Structure 1
């Protein structure tokens, strides 16, 4: 307990899924947490859960593509908590298409605006606050889709691949500035969160237009044979946010059940 005691953390897209797990985990480990999202009900629910467990958190509505709102968010954090130590740039969406020829420019731009522009803005506005606090940790949520291609998620892969190299570049900028800020990316595999229900099977090349199930996909393609949970990712984020990772920057933390390592034939379970 207390791995991030005394730190102030901002988690974008914190109203559900991986973001919510990150917010609650950081709060449980002693951080004051600022949860932002466009889902007011979900954000309020996460903050209430944190308070109910004895933690401290606030919810602020935020569209991560709105540059003016970024300035307001950071100003509010510094006004309330006097500092910012941890940024978890997590907000993102996934838009699939049967082929890139069928993806609309509007969907391409919307996905890029949230998944890539939103991360850029998070860094642009949070680094000055973190420098005023004497340093900190930036965690950018990428994906295994940022490490390898997918024929039905080309636009999503483009954004997550961009996040991966953006994190490395900002890590080098901060190291060069000697500002005490570390920057890393996290790459979840198939994690059982609400995002899968928003990508129709047809868009993912699975034949008919019905929501996908993470567990079904995991059994087919994850070496460990099961889907991860949001808490599995939050545990990795906690490590990167804490001083335990003081010598880690510009790195990729892959939490994917072995997907990017290869494929296996699993033995039947013991009888």
Structure 2
């Protein structure tokens, strides 16, 4: 249940009812727009497929009507960033994060820099045509398979049609290097490993036995959900703790909220 009563729900339902989704978004300061970021943030965790599935099973166990199965259909989704300069390299990860919460399959994730005159650049127009065709093909295959997020085959299917990327799992190219170590973490799917050069290209090498931790897989979502419930449960217990209540009262009394500039 979302506390914001706006048109996100209607927009979300349109995505759910669509066979495939294509986002085309201007590039702001190397990444996605604020409007897109709001959509991405609203998708999780309330619309995370793993949490929705757990909620639906709990409703069923309580004798209530479970969630409509349309919320668990696999979805084909693609992204295109349109930039007015060459500040663009963060937009791919920003965009793909929206697909991470529902666990939808990303088909293409591309960006065009210096593209205010893009309709005059035939190579980019042709690439857009290719992106559209790839999306239609992937969506049709999912329909033909009646593919659901929780199907056993779902995690093994890869619909990626973009360029070869450094992360072999989610096809991401942005990594966090843990300070003082040689450990790299994919900023998109969260898998950890080492960046190595193979055939002149950088790739993330991770333990295959750890792939189930990936944030876009139902197995990874379950692990994340377990962590959330454990930590939230600990917080609920703290509300009865006298030391916690004392500290909360102290900080509440000495810190005043910053008023809105309009006031």
Asked which structure has the greater RCO (Cα within 8 Å, sep 6+), the reply is 1
- TM (normalized to structure 2)? 0.36
Larger Cα-atom Rg: 2
TM-score (norm 1): 0.35
